[in-house]
Chain A
Amino acid sequence: MKKIEFDPRTKIFVVFFLSTLAVMFSDWMSLFRLSLIGIGFGLVFRVPFHLLLRRFSKILLVFLGLIIVQSIFIHEGEALIEVFGIQILTVVGLQRGLGYVFRVGIVLLSGAILSTSSMRDLLQALQQLKVPYVIGLMVAIGVKFLPIFVQEVQDAFVAMQLRGIDVKHLRMKRRIQVIAYLFIPLILSTLDKAERLAATIESRGFRIGAKRSQYRKLQLKRQDVICMMIVPMIMLLTQN
């Protein structure tokens, strides 16, 4: 069977709906249904789920903490677990926590759906959607450099520990101070990179707003039209 390729505009359209609704909904049931639909679209667009899951599992622990904090401080709903009269897990806390999990899940999924298209295609799509080129360019640069920033923070953190500083066992106040120092090399190298990038771009004759002609044009195909028609209908179903 031939693999069906979707137009990046279709993906942008789906992601737009998914993320708007994810922000609008607040009850966990709707968010749950929305996540299922998101996963459905993820399958259609062939999102690499194993990578997504790995990223998601890392932050799952944070949510567990959130659920417990919610339960302790919001005295609503029936207690599921109680220790010495303190409600550790309540129904309302659990529901809100699950709401967060689904919401963040949808946002991550949206990112993953977009990244199944190449940057070149997405930029082309934004341009054909008449989004100002500057915005597209900023997004493209941001996405491209994000992994580098992450790497640099990690490197700086390693270098700091190699100084003999036991970051994990510092008192909270000292730890925050020490972590603030991590950002100094990062900010400096970012400024430096930005300067060099701007110089490189300009020296290659690039100007924002200059008239460009292009050979490539994205064309919506049948599967795209069908997909875009289905999306609003499905999304309506998720509402309570």
Chain B
Amino acid sequence: MAYYEANKISYEIRGRTIFKEISFQLEQKEFVSLVGANGIGKTTLSKLMIGIQKPSGGEIRLDGVPVSEYALFEVGRKVGYLFQNPSCQIFCPTIMEELLFSLRFQGGETPEGRDRAVEMMRRFSLLDAQNSPTHCLSQGEKQRLALATILMNQPEYLMLDEPTTGLDQVRKTELGHYLQEIHQSGVGILMISHDQDFVKQMSQRILRLDDGGLYEED
């Protein structure tokens, strides 16, 4: 059984069909990329997959259970989601608080939690910025913080909506290393991206969304 299974899902909004009867399967340990033109529905598809939006037809199963049967927080504990704009998922004034945020509201901070947060800061090169207020962080730093925060939850799967936008070449290579590392630790990844080279270099499979539907690229 695949980790994610979409069966003939369609999505309509305000009388407009964004996509129709799309089916696909994703394995839990795969690194898959989703590509396609602007406005074709990639972000929408990923939102259907975590249940923020509901398909108008068909069904998506996560780990064998329809997504619609999970509460949002349950999906969140399995799947980490990096928004196209990371600002909307940063809530706390400092990096440390932000990393510990979900622990605080899920049973409380522990010394191990703090150690893990420090480890995350080191891994994502956030130590230099640790005293800057989060809203002043640069785009790249915000993104790394958002990613680090998601990983604090130890998800089994990651969805990344255009993680390379706004990153320079060095940071992009760095992100590539982080992602590879995360993938090797057993976390599956679905990455939405417009960056051809990055996609080719990173992914095991590439899915292309266009007007006709969803295709596998080789």
- The yes or no answer to B44 lying at the interface (CB within 8 A) is no
Chain B hits for A178, CB < 8 A: 105
Is the CB–CB distance between B153 and A159 below 8 Å? no
Q: Can you show 10 pairs from A to B with CB atoms below 8 A apart? A: A161-B71, A162-B72, A162-B75, A162-B81, A163-B76, A163-B89, A167-B73, A178-B105, A184-B92, A184-B93
Most-contacted residue by chain B among A160, A165, A168, A185 (CB, 10 A): A165
| Given A159-B83, A188-B135, A164 contacting B77 (CB threshold 8 A) | yes
Q: Which of A18-26, A101-109, A150-158 contacts B (4 or more CB under 8 A)?
A: A150-158
A156→B90 CA distance, assembly (Å): 9
User: Complex Cα distance A181/B100, Å?
Assistant: 13
Chain A interface main SS type: helix
**Complex contacts, A162 vs chain B, CB 8 Å:** 50, 72-73, 75-76, 81, 89
The closest CB in chain B to the CB of A160 belongs to B91
Q: A174–B91 contact, CB under 8 A?
A: no
Task: Answer whether residue A182 sits at the interface, using C-beta atoms and an 8 A cutoff.
Answer: yes
Does any Cβ of A come within 8 Å of B52's Cβ?
yes
CB of A189 within 8 A of chain B? yes
Q: Point out the residues of chain A lying under 8 angstroms from B73, CB to CB.
A: 161-167
Q: How far is the CA of A3 from the CA of B102 in the complex (A)?
A: 56
Q: Is B1 an interface residue (CB 8 A)?
A: no
Among B89, B93, B153, the most chain A Cβ lie within 10 Å of the Cβ of B89
In the assembly, what is the distance between CA of A163 and CA of B148, in Å? 12
A170 at the interface (CB under 8 A from B): yes
Query: B153's contact among A161, A163, A166, by CB below 8 Å, is which?
Result: A163
Interface string of B79-112 (1 = CB under 8 A from A): 0010100011111110000000110011000000
> What chain A residues lie within 8 Å of B135 (beta carbons)?
188
Chain A residues closer than 8 Å to B153, beta-carbon distance: 163-164
Q: Please report which residues of chain B, range 146-163, place their CB below 8 angstroms from some CB of chain A when the two chains form the complex.
A: 149, 153
Q: Which residues of chain B have C-beta atoms less than 8 A from A161's C-beta?
A: 71-73, 76
Q: Given contacts A163-B102, A164-B106, A188-B135, list 18 more A-B pairs with CB under 8 A.
A: A156-B88, A156-B89, A158-B72, A159-B83, A159-B88, A162-B72, A162-B76, A162-B81, A163-B105, A164-B77, A165-B102, A166-B106, A170-B105, A181-B101, A182-B91, A184-B92, A185-B87, A185-B91
